[in-house]
Structure 1
Amino acid sequence: MPRKIKTIARDIAKFAPDDDGDWRRLDVLLDELWQAGSPEQAIPEMLSVFERYPEEDGHGVMWSLVHGLENLPNYESALLSSLARQPSELGIVMVGRMLNSGATSVDGVSLLLTLQEISSTATSTHIKEIARSVLSRPR
């Protein structure tokens, strides 16, 4: 019997790579989430992974989050809220991809101003550099 989305979402929210740095369990959870249907119900939990591991790509596993989120309706506002709580490399990359697709704002929030704020206020030098890099790309 498939597990309920709330249970899967809770497991995603609690996910941590194992002691060997293995992220495959997250991949399994994401597959399970999509198979359960209505993965948009777990957008906050998925974004919480970016917030807990802001400078990680999970050996490529977190790109599954990027692609999955981008295929869901109305994830953009939640992404900006996540970035306001904890700027993350892949969250910034997603904003850059939104800009590349022609978007300039989400719910009245400027994407460029969001990146500018991150580039000047983030505590991580790496995160600041990623935001500056995305800002410097021609549109």
Structure 2
Amino acid sequence: MPRKTTTIARDIARFAPDEDGDWRRLDVLLDELWQAGAPEQAILEMLSVFERYPEDDGYGVMWSLVHGLEKLPNYESALLSSLARQPSELGIVMVGRMLNSGVTAVDGVSLLFTLQEIAGAATSAHIKEIARSVASRPR
């Protein structure tokens, strides 16, 4: 019997790679989430993975989060809230992808300004550099 979206979302929110650094369980959870039929109910839990691992891509597994979130309606404001709580490399990349597609603001918040704020205030030098790099790309 398939599990409920809320149960899968809880498991995503609690996800951590195993002691060997294996992220495949997250891929399994994401597949299960999409098969359950209501992935939009787990946007916050998916973004929480970025927040817990802000400088990681999970050996490519976290790109499944990027692509999955981008397919969902109305994830953008949750992404900006996530970045305000904990700037993350892939969250910044997603903002850059929105800018590249012609989106300049979400709910009245300038995406470029968001990147500039992160570049100025992030505690991680790596995150600051990613934000600067994405903000400075020609559009």
TM-score (normalised: structure 1)? 1.00
Q: CA deviation at 1:136?
A: 1.2
The residue identity in structure 1 corresponding to 2:89 is: E
Structure 2, unpaired ranges of 5+: none
Structure 1, unpaired ranges of 5+: none
Q: CA deviation at 1:120?
A: 0.3
Whole-Å Cα distance in 2 between the matches of residues 132 and 118 of structure 1? Answer: 8
Q: CA deviation at 1:32?
A: 0.1
**Residue matched to 1:20:** 20
Per-residue CA deviation, residues 55-92 of structure 1 (Å, 9 max, x unaligned), is: 00000000000000000000000000000000000000
Alignment of 1:1-139 (within 5 A): 1-139=1-139
Q: CA deviation at 1:7?
A: 0.2
The residue identity in structure 2 corresponding to 1:96 is: G
| SS across alignment from 1:103 | coil
Superposition misfits of 4+ residues, deviation over 3 angstroms = none
Per-residue CA deviation, residues 39-62 of structure 1 (Å, 9 max, x unaligned), is: 000000000000000000000000
Whole-Å Cα distance in 2 between the matches of residues 99 and 13 of structure 1? Answer: 28
The residue identity in structure 2 corresponding to 1:54 is: P
Fraction of identical pairs, as percent: 88
| SS across alignment from 2:72 | coil
Whole-Å Cα distance in 2 between the matches of residues 135 and 39 of structure 1? Answer: 29
| SS across alignment from 2:25 | helix
Give the number of equivalent residue pairs.
139
TM-score (normalised: structure 2)? 1.00
| SS across alignment from 2:34 | helix
